[in-house]
Amino acid sequence: MTAFGLAVAVGAMFALGTFLLLQRDLIRVVWGLAIVSQAANVYLLAMGGITSGTADSVPVLAGHADHVPETADPVVQALVLTAIVIGFGMTAFALVLSYRVYEEHDTLDVTELGDRE
Amino acid sequence: MAATVPSDAAIAAQPAGPATESLVIAPMLIVLVVAVGTLLVGDRPRARAIVSLAGGVGYALAVAAIDWYVVLAPNAPGVATYQVGDLPAPFGITLVVDGLSAFMLTMVAVIGIASLVFSVRVLPELDRRSYYFPLFHFLALGVTGAFLTGDLFNLFVWFEVMLMASYIFVAYYGGPQHTRAAFWYVALNLLASAIFLLGVGGIYATTGTLNMADLARRLAAPAAYGIDPTPVVGLLALLLSVFAIKAGLVPFQFWIPTAYRAAPPQITALLAGATKKVGIYAIIRLSFTVFAGAQIGVDLTVPGTELGVAGDSPLVLVGAALFVMAAASILVGGIGAVGRSSLEGVFAYSSIGQVGFIALPVAIAATTTSSELRQAAILAALVYALNHSLAKGLLFLSVGTVRSATGTSRFDDLGGLAGRSPPLAIAVFVGSLALVGIPPLSGFFGKFLVFDAAVEAEASSALVLLLVGSLLTIAYATRTWNRSFWGARTEAVEEAAVDPVQVAVLVALAAAIVAVGVGFEPVYEFADAAAEAALDSDGYVEAVDPCEPGEMTEDCALEGATGNGGEHA
């Protein structure tokens, strides 16, 4: 069920991101990029899966109780953390850049940008 | 020192002492320290220039040391690894240098120093307060990291480091066309990064590892690790498209002309000479070192027709895709270059075409079954890549010289440059001839080896393409020369003040092109070692020596972790 939910979420985010990417307004394009990269993050997170933990795989939890809870793969969590940081920085940069484009061109409409050489 | 001897196998094979291991990380450390150093000296142009140049020389020395001690010395180990933080592979981050990485690093070092000297000369006039030099070194850091990393996710991270610096350089001048070019460049690469993540995530889910050596080992024996590698073919296609964007292969070439026009010329030299090669390197490394051992039935024929490819290795897909992209690149780049109206326009399109010349032998290598031809084809691609770096680096830098001397690079405003500055003209002439492939320049051997690989593979379509591409190269090289260096002097050229240091850099690069051509023997041996390293999957795995899942030897002991640490998914 979780897998199904995640698949729907990833699919919906990719669809929304792609839709926004194809818009004429630059800010929407940036939104689209942000959503697509978040979709990739969710996908990456889903790839790790959730497994039933054992005292061997999670030694920290072994001493707390007789029951070891389900655990997620820590490697993908670390990867996603890195990807989120990079994505955050790049989204901020893309926003700054679109403001700069607005300053230079007086417009955020993609179709009008090409006219000035 | 954190570095220790990695494993019994590595000791038995070759003496890879701690000194060699530290060498692996040396170029990255140097360039990182220099990047931070240039930030720290602040708003003092002279200090920044000195730190930068010293760093560039240090980087080149470190790369030369790697070349000698790891690859070229009589009893060199061929591969050296560094486990960051002394965590064993595949848990820790692995840095690997072998012939292929060393060859690429050498190329970056040469073109990087030329570009750096040029930058120091050009920059004070432009802007004293900018973060140009720190960014320059971060760009070099990203490129170096991408060549050295032995881990798929780290490859993604180094790509991002490299790209972030290049985004700012594309937007550097801040005019309308620069911001527009930068925006599309950023947008395209962000999308590519998301696709890269999809590929990386999929490969992790399929195989349970991201370490390239571990990946190669698991793909070669999927049954032993209980994995089904079939999805890897599709994921490899995703990754290929990402690397093709970096390399600027058609149909992912559209960002190149605008971005190359917008960035400062000395950075464009680096973009064409170094970051493009990262894409090529990633294609070669992943296809041949990592995925070549996988035996996966691939059948991509269109149902009901003969169209498509089929085989028992993911390389079939790489070969077919690269061949189509290379063919289109040669044609689009060549035809596009003939009609441009400015120097950098011609060279940017030419860059697209030349990358096709590099990708075509790689496609042949992926398609063929003969291991000799495969090595010869990769060797051809590497020699051609070296020639492209030198020649295109020279030509883009010459755009900078012409621009700072005359204030323009449009053919309409240029003419008679040859009489105005003979050394500049000779250097550009040598660069153009190297692109065309006249002996005894480096370009001749590049072209010769590529043609030779095509003949050996009996690929007549490839031969026709190469011929057409070469003719187009002659056409645009002659046209560029005639329009800007021959003819009557224009007003801009008459008043031009050509900078002697800039010309000296160009002449040095031209001399390097001649030297590579005349003394081709050692270059050939180096490239041969690089091609051999690219194909030597077993040697790569053995050098990195990732721990088996469940294996608990002393080398593989991880504090707090237990045997199943390697088993994810």
How does pLDDT run across B387-435, given as a tens digit for each residue?
Answer: 999 999 999 999 999 988 888 888 888 888 888 888 999 999 999 999 9
Residue that has been written with the tokens 């996603």 in this structure: A80
Residues A24-41 pLDDT 10s = 999 999 999 999 999 999
Distance from CA of B258 to the nearest CA of A (A): 11
pLDDT of residue B285: 94
Q: Using 50, 70 and 90 to split pLDDT, how confident is the model at B550?
A: low
Which helix or strand (DSSP H or E) is residue B298 part of? strand B298-299
d(CA B527, CA B523): 6
Task: Tell me the angle at which helices B152-170 and A74-105 cross, rounded to the nearest 10 degrees.
Answer: 10
- Give the residue from B405, B434, B435 showing the smallest Cα distance to B417: B405
d(CA B405, CA A27): 39
Which helix or strand (DSSP H or E) is residue B513 part of? helix B500-518
Spell out the residues 6+ positions from residue A64 whose beta carbon is closer than 8 angstroms to its own.
none
The residues of B whose Cβ lies within 8 A of any Cβ of A are 153, 156-157, 160, 164, 167, 171, 174-177, 179-180, 182-183, 186-187, 190-191, 193-195, 197-198, 200-202, 204-205, 210, 560, 562-565, 568-569
Distance from CA of A25 to the nearest CA of B (A): 13
pLDDT of residue B565: 40
d(CA B476, CA B473): 5
Q: What is the pTM of this model?
A: 0.90
pLDDT of residue A66: 67
Residue B550, φ and ψ in degrees, nearest 5:
85, -10
Residues shown for chain B:
569
Confirm if B42 and B103 have CB atoms less than 8 A apart.
no
Residues B435-467 pLDDT 10s = 998 888 888 999 999 999 999 988 889 999 999
pLDDT of residue B229: 86
d(CA B179, CA B176): 6
User: Backbone dihedral region of B187: left (phi > 0), alpha (psi from -120 to 50 degrees) or beta?
Assistant: alpha
d(CA B85, CA B304): 55
- E-strand stretches of B10-85: 79-83
pLDDT of residue A9: 93
**The two structure tokens encoding residue B414:** 């240029």
pLDDT of residue B568: 40
**Most confidently modeled of A64-73, A106-115, B356-365?**
B356-365
Q: Using 50, 70 and 90 to split pLDDT, how confident is the model at B569?
A: very low
Confirm if B520 and B446 have CB atoms less than 8 A apart.
no
B369 burial class (0-12, 13-18, 19+ CB within 10 angstroms)? exposed
pLDDT of residue B127: 58
Q: Using 50, 70 and 90 to split pLDDT, how confident is the model at B2?
A: very low
What value of ipTM does the predicted structure carry? 0.91
pLDDT of residue B302: 73
Residue B33 has pLDDT above 90, yes or no: yes
Residues B162-201 pLDDT 10s = 999 999 999 988 888 899 999 999 999 999 999 999 999 9
B453 burial class (0-12, 13-18, 19+ CB within 10 angstroms)? buried
Between chains, do A86 and B562 touch, taking CB under 8 Å as contact? no
Residues B285-328 pLDDT 10s = 999 999 988 888 777 777 776 676 777 788 888 999 999 999 99
Residues B336-384 pLDDT 10s = 999 888 998 999 999 999 999 999 999 999 988 888 999 999 999 999 9
Residue A61 has pLDDT above 80, yes or no: no
d(CA B101, CA B71): 10
Q: Using 50, 70 and 90 to split pLDDT, how confident is the model at A112?
A: confident
- Neighboring chain A residues of B186 at a CB cutoff of 8 Å: 90, 93-94, 97
